Amino acid sequence: MDRKAHIKIIDENPDLCVKASRELSDAVVVNADVVDPNMLKLENVGRADVLISVTNSDEKNLLACMASLKFGTGKIISRYLTKQYGEIFKYTGIETIFGYHLAIANEITKGLISDEDAILRMKHDEEYFFSVVTDSHSPLLGKSYGNLSLPEGVRLVTVIRNECTVFPRYETVFEEGDRVLVYTYKVKKGAVRKLLGKKVMEI
């Protein structure tokens, strides 16, 4: 017996939400920010078989995909609109690419970027994605995530440890060899270097 599809649409534009709710009677329409992790959790995205992120912002698509993966969404599908972002999605571990607009599917789990010194500039001049490896000189080594004093605008998104993906929790302790994916926005480089080491963000 075929299962009935349950569709939920999330968009931050109230006018589009009103239009969608009128035209798509079989879908639940939610007016909210697609990259708000609390909202995604409340909307039970972790129980979804598939999440499709097709906003007009490459950054929002990427962050929505990562947040959804954290909550256990079965499959992630997204798109990116500019050629440069194809590399960003690849670097975060998305493996399958298809379609004219280079929609992406698969788990964001297999790794971050091969060069730990690579820094990827996002849409805005003060916005970056990059990864760092926790070595014997790293300020992160031996510290727990919950005891870190993160500067405003800094997120430690994911840790790759022994080919497994770890989403940092309060009790997560950083070990030597961990590769940490970092997102920063409008943050002073000195504060990031103090947190992660002197060599990061040498742009």
Instruction: Give the residue extent of every domain in the chain.
Output: 33-105, 119-196
Written as six digits, the tokens of 24 are 């798509």
- Better-predicted residue by pLDDT, 65 or 21: 21
Alpha-helical (H) ranges within the chain are: 14-23, 37-42, 58-70, 83-91, 189-196
Q: Hey, how many other C-beta atoms are within 10 angstroms of the C-beta on 197?
A: 18
Condensed to tens digits (0 to 9), the pLDDT of residues 150-199 reads 888 888 888 888 878 788 888 999 999 998 888 888 888 888 888 988 76
Whether residue 130 has pLDDT greater than 70: yes
pTM of the model: 0.45
Q: Check whether 92 has a pLDDT greater than 70.
A: no
Can you tell me the distance from the alpha carbon of 62 to that of 158, in angstroms, rounded to the nearest whole number? 13
64 CB neighbour count, 10 Å cutoff: 26
Residues 99, 134: Cα–Cα separation, whole Å: 36
Whole-number pLDDT of residue 4 = 67
The mean per-residue pLDDT over the stretch 120-135 comes to 70
Asked if pLDDT for residue 141 goes beyond 90, the answer is: yes
CATH hierarchy code of domain 33-105:
3.40.50.720
Whether the per-residue pLDDT at 202 is higher than 60: the answer is: no
**Rounded percentage of the chain residues whose pLDDT exceeds 70:** 73
- Report the C-alpha gap between 168 and 61 in whole angstroms: 21
Mean pLDDT for 105-110 is 34
- Specify the CATH number of the domain 119-196: 3.30.70.1450
One fold for 33-105 and 119-196: no
pLDDT of residue 153: 84
Between CA 108 and CA 140 the distance in angstroms is 23
Query: Is residue 18 scored above 60 in pLDDT?
Result: yes
Question: Residue 53's pLDDT is what?
Answer: 82
